[in-house]
Amino acid sequence: MGGFLVAGLPAFALAIPLNWFLVSRLMWGKSGAYALVLLMQVAVNFFMCRWFVFTNRKATPVLTQFGQFLSGILVFRIADWALYTFLVTAFDFCFLAVQVVNIVIFSVLKFKFSRKVMEG
């Protein structure tokens, strides 16, 4: 699990400033900006996990594995996006704080799913 969290750091390091830039500078809506940020994170996280975390992976072509990963991880990302949108809209919580909290909430579930896709 530790390696999974470390492999997620590059996407996280990009996600926070990208979300801030889209919302604060480009004046995008918070939900739309976060949706784009989540898609970027999915792509970066897949390759980081494939290259560094799950080295005992099954012999599946990268595009096939990415499709499997994407189809399942989107369920978690949609739940992440829905919770984020609800909290920043209904309670006017700081959008960056909610983003960080969601990372913690969903990390264990995403790890278990990712391990299943990558290693079988």
Residue-wise pLDDT tens digits, 70-120: 999 999 999 999 999 999 999 999 999 999 999 989 998 999 898 888 887
Which of 14-23 are b and which e, b meaning 16 or more Cβ less than 10 Å from the residue's Cβ? ebeebbeebb
Contacts of 57 (CB under 8 A, 6+ apart): 50, 65, 118, 119, 120
Q: Where are the domains of the chain?
A: 2-119
pTM equals 0.84
Sign of the CA dihedral running 104, 82, 69, 23: negative
Residue-wise pLDDT tens digits, 26-65: 999 999 999 999 999 999 999 998 888 887 777 788 899 8
